[in-house]
Amino acid sequence: MPSSRRATTPTLALAASALLACGGGGGSSAPEPQPGDPCTTQAACGHLLCFEGSCVTALPDAPSCPAAGGAPTLVAGAAVVASDPGAGVCSHSIVDPVFPAGVVQALGEHGVGEQVGFTVPPGTWSISIYEQEVDDSAPDAISYLGQALPNAAVPTDVRMPGGEVFYDDTPASVPLDPDGYLDFTGFFSVHFGSPTPWVGVATFPNAPPGLDLARVAGELPAGDWTLRVNDWALECTTFGSACTGGSSAGRYRVHVVTEGPPASTGALDLDVYLATSGPSGEPRLTAAEAATDPGLARLFQGVATVLGRAGLCLGTVTFHDLPDWARLRFESTLYDPSTLCDEMHQMFQLSTASGRGPSLFMVDELLATYSRPGQTLLGVDGSIPGPSGLPGTPASGAVMSFGSVPSCTGAFSPASCRADELAVIASHELGHWLGLFHTSESTGTDFDPLTDTPRCSCAHCTLLADRGRCGDPTDPMQMTPGLCNGVGSCSGASNLMFWAYDPSISRGAITPQQAEVVRLDPAVRAEPAP
Amino acid sequence: MIVALAPLLAVALSTSPCLPRPDGREALRTRICGLAGAYDSPIPDRAWRDLGPGADAFLAELAGSPDDLEARRARALEGLAARGGPLAERTHRSLASSAETPIAVRRGAIRGLGRLLPRAELSRTLRPLLSPAADPRARAAAAETLALHDPAGSCGVVRARAAADPSDAVRLESALSTCRAASER
């Protein structure tokens, strides 16, 4: 595994090294640290951040986003025009990617199991593979170990010109870390299970060896690559009696998008769809009102601040009105992870703006059906990563709930400004869209595939009396931010992609590797530094 | 002087319960606010029940905090509903009945009553929200809750309501769907 990890930008590298070197909680008896106090450890800064030797309230914006010009432009876009398919109607469509011909390769329709070739041009740093099911050819769900699972369209057996495997959806083995948890950091690329029948996207590389491969050589190996069209239903047929409902009949339309090196900064445009209503059924906020709303201006300035830490400049945020029927149906959106026929995935098909950037739906209320109906979520994504440049599919959205958004003045401060809190939540969902996984999951037993993101291991960070619950499927530990705000393996709660948000701890921090992953997503358009 | 300080005091007291305060509740605060802050992960009922003494009061404070995110307040209500008890019921009743409650919190309180009240009491409590005078968004939540917990006693009213006011029909779709499923069982 290559060991060289060149920093993505000097400032980001310094910011992250300061965070990683410091990483500690505040003492209880020392005076409250103030911005500007010197620090050599995070502990010296308490709830502030230790950054380049001084306590700060927040990390600075990426220098490549000009201070004034870094403010996103908020505009009202075209309203979505769509007729009401009726309640409970489940549909999905196949769409063409919006990328120019030199970037996207249409590989045609293929059955699962077929090996398909594609070209990686010189100078390529990332590969995105899109599969869209045709003719309802694949089952929507399978049953694995007695549990119903939606199918997922995901390529496998992706090979470089020399034949070396770059991605395998069913690796022969996954190493364990010293705590006995699965360790994916040694793979070129990773695609964690995301139930996405009908449409799936995978963007590689997203793990350190793959990132190193591109960075050290200045490109991924150019030439003729291959992939195998695949879905979980096909994999199911190889698992014997453990899996039922499998099928080798799935057919998919396949596209590959290749992108060049991540510029020192990239620009990200957003399309925002508003599903929010007043009591009489009127829009609580129209697109035109949103574009001039001070609270939303503050919110998206906050998103720009957080994403700026990854070298992304938030460009244009375009608001869209939904048709009345859609706004009323989806103002309270139901997410059922067992199906793509739920309200959330059907709503995502209204993301009809033709941009390559993420589609963010803002709704009054977001509810999930897990073990019981009606569980509130802060936000969720249709898939990880999101299908950048492929609007209008059931996976083509991220959604967050929001209520009133009073504006604030002063520096970015999630602890004291609701708009900034919502900015962190929106940025978290956008981080998923751009390919980031939770750094640590709630159980403290699953982690992202990056090596510079702090982990919060259940085996280390919970009380001895509770460690028997680590990995217990019936009563798992919940590794809340307070347990993960310390040093070493008990940290990470300040990271943008930690599984939970706490206003006194979460800072929306982003590591260099996370920054590199998000800038490789095809949603990002290269923008030369000023 | 006292008059001049009053607004400042109000601001100071209105900050989120999830921000650190020297009130000796730090451990409880971080556990509850962490659970309430899960972005997209379900919180098992047992995690709420394991919070121990003092949690009910903190959850009720968080649920009623006007300075907090509506989603976090709704999560706090879910925690209270999982734990049950008189304070949980009082908090839910109060937030569910007030037109001043932000709609996402109010809907959460209405749903939570479905977990807290016996069927007959639930019907008595939520039926008034099905009236034409109620906020249609709260009416939709009440209809969904009644359809789920008391389909035999409430689905007729829900259907009649949807038929009487087509402008309500979209918002009542979920309740009507639950009623259909109940009638097929």
Give Dmax over CA atoms of chain B in angstroms: 68
Shortest distance between the Cα of A117 and any Cα of chain B, in A, equals 37
Shortest distance between the Cα of B3 and any Cα of chain A, in A, equals 25
**A442, A439, A445, A443: which is closest to A181 by C-alpha?**
A445
User: Where does the pLDDT of residue A5 fall: very low under 50, low under 70, confident under 90, or very high at 90 and above?
Assistant: very low
> What is the reported pTM?
0.88
Which pLDDT belongs to residue B2?
37
Which pLDDT belongs to residue A31?
74
Single-letter amino acid code for the residue at A123 = G
Mutate to test the interface with A, among B14, B28, B41 (most CBs of A within 10 A): B41
> Which residue of B42, B69, B135 is in closest CB contact with A368?
B42
CA–CA distance, A114 with A250 (Å, rounded to integer): 11
> Which residue of B16, B41, B170 is in closest CB contact with A499?
B41
In chain A, residues with a C-beta closer than 8 Å to the C-beta of B41 are: 441-442, 499-500
CA–CA distance, B180 with B13 (Å, rounded to integer): 47
Q: Which residue of B has its CA nearest to A343?
A: B174
- Which has the higher per-residue pLDDT, A42 or B132? B132
Residue B178 token pair: 């639950």
**pLDDT tens digit sequence for A218-276:** 899 999 999 999 999 999 999 999 999 999 999 999 999 998 876 556 889 999 999 99
> Which residue of B29, B38, B103 is in closest CB contact with A500?
B38
Single-letter amino acid code for the residue at A190 = V
* Mean pLDDT of all residues in B113-126: 97
Cβ <8 Å between B39 and A421: no
Q: Which residue of A has its CA nearest to B68?
A: A418
In chain B, residues with a C-beta closer than 8 Å to the C-beta of A505 are: 30
Q: Is the peptide bond before A205 cis (omega within 30 degrees of 0)?
A: yes
Which residues, at least 6 apart from A413, have a Cβ–Cβ distance to it below 8 Å? A57, A58, A420
- Sheet-wide strand order for A243-244: A147-150, A141-144, A243-244
Cβ <8 Å between A503 and B108: no
> Which residue of B35, B42, B176 is in closest CB contact with A480?
B35
Cβ <8 Å between A376 and B30: no
By DSSP bridging, strand A359-363 and strand A266-275 are parallel
> Which residue of A329, A376, A402 is in closest CB contact with B78?
A376
Cβ <8 Å between B18 and A281: no
CA–CA distance, A365 with B70 (Å, rounded to integer): 9
In chain A, residues with a C-beta closer than 8 Å to the C-beta of B34 are: 478, 480-483, 500, 502
CA–CA distance, A507 with A492 (Å, rounded to integer): 10
Cβ <8 Å between B69 and A378: yes
In chain A, residues with a C-beta closer than 8 Å to the C-beta of B16 are: 503
ipTM confidence: 0.91
User: Where does the pLDDT of residue A66 fall: very low under 50, low under 70, confident under 90, or very high at 90 and above?
Assistant: low
Which pLDDT belongs to residue B55?
96
Cβ <8 Å between B33 and A504: yes
Residue A405 token pair: 């958004």
In chain A, residues with a C-beta closer than 8 Å to the C-beta of B182 are: none
In chain B, residues with a C-beta closer than 8 Å to the C-beta of A88 are: 173, 177
Give the number of beta-carbon pairs within 8 Å between A and B.
150
Shortest distance between the Cα of B64 and any Cα of chain A, in A, equals 15
**pLDDT tens digit sequence for B90-111:** 999 999 999 999 999 999 999 9
Cβ <8 Å between B137 and A277: yes
Which DSSP category does A263 fall into?
Answer: P
CB atoms within 10 A of CB B25: 17
**Burial class of residue A352 (count of CB atoms within 10 Å of its CB; 0-12, 13-18, 19+):** middle
The answer to whether A261 and A125 are in contact (CB under 8 A) is yes
Which DSSP category does A38 fall into?
Answer: B
Shortest distance between the Cα of A364 and any Cα of chain B, in A, equals 6
Cβ <8 Å between A328 and B16: no
Which pLDDT belongs to residue A23?
25
CA separation, residue B42 to residues A53, A300, A407 (Å): 38, 27, 30
**pLDDT tens digit sequence for A413-435:** 998 899 999 999 999 999 999 99
> Which residue of B38, B46, B177 is in closest CB contact with A499?
B38
* Mean pLDDT of all residues in A41-45: 57
In chain B, residues with a C-beta closer than 8 Å to the C-beta of A47 are: 20
**pLDDT tens digit sequence for A138-155:** 999 999 998 888 999 999
Residue A435 token pair: 């390919």
Share of chain A above pLDDT 90, in %: 66
* Mean pLDDT of all residues in B133-161: 95
Which pLDDT belongs to residue A68?
43
* Mean pLDDT of all residues in A482-488: 85
Cβ <8 Å between A364 and B103: yes
**B130, B138, B126: which is closest to B165 by C-alpha?**
B130
- Which has the higher per-residue pLDDT, B63 or A516? B63
Q: Which residue of B has its CA nearest to A426?
A: B39
Is the model's pLDDT at A490 over the cut of 70? yes
Is the model's pLDDT at A120 over the cut of 90? yes
Is the model's pLDDT at A9 over the cut of 50? no
**Burial class of residue A42 (count of CB atoms within 10 Å of its CB; 0-12, 13-18, 19+):** buried
Cβ <8 Å between A88 and B74: no
- Cα dihedral across residues A26, A429, B47, B28: positive or negative: positive
User: Where does the pLDDT of residue A197 fall: very low under 50, low under 70, confident under 90, or very high at 90 and above?
Assistant: confident
Mutate to test the interface with A, among B18, B32, B39 (most CBs of A within 10 A): B39
In chain A, residues with a C-beta closer than 8 Å to the C-beta of B74 are: 365, 376
